[in-house]
Amino acid sequence: MQAQFHSLADFFHMGGYGFYVWLSYGVAYASLAILIGVTLTRKGRVLKEIAAKAKREERLAQHRSAKE
Is 66 part of any domain? yes
Q: Is the pLDDT of residue 1 over 70?
A: no
User: Which pLDDT score is estimated for 23?
Assistant: 96
User: Which pLDDT score is estimated for 66?
Assistant: 82
Q: Is the pLDDT of residue 3 over 80?
A: no
Is 52 part of any domain? yes
Give the residue numbers spanning the domain of 50: 40-68
**Is residue 3 left, alpha or beta, with left meaning phi > 0 and alpha meaning psi from -120 to 50?**
beta
Query: Which residues, in sequence order, are CB contacts of 5 under 8 Å at separation 6+?
Result: 11
Domain count, the chain: 1
- At 21-50, the pLDDT tens digits run 999 999 999 999 999 999 999 999 999 999
**pTM beyond cutoff 0.95:** no
Is 54 part of any domain? yes
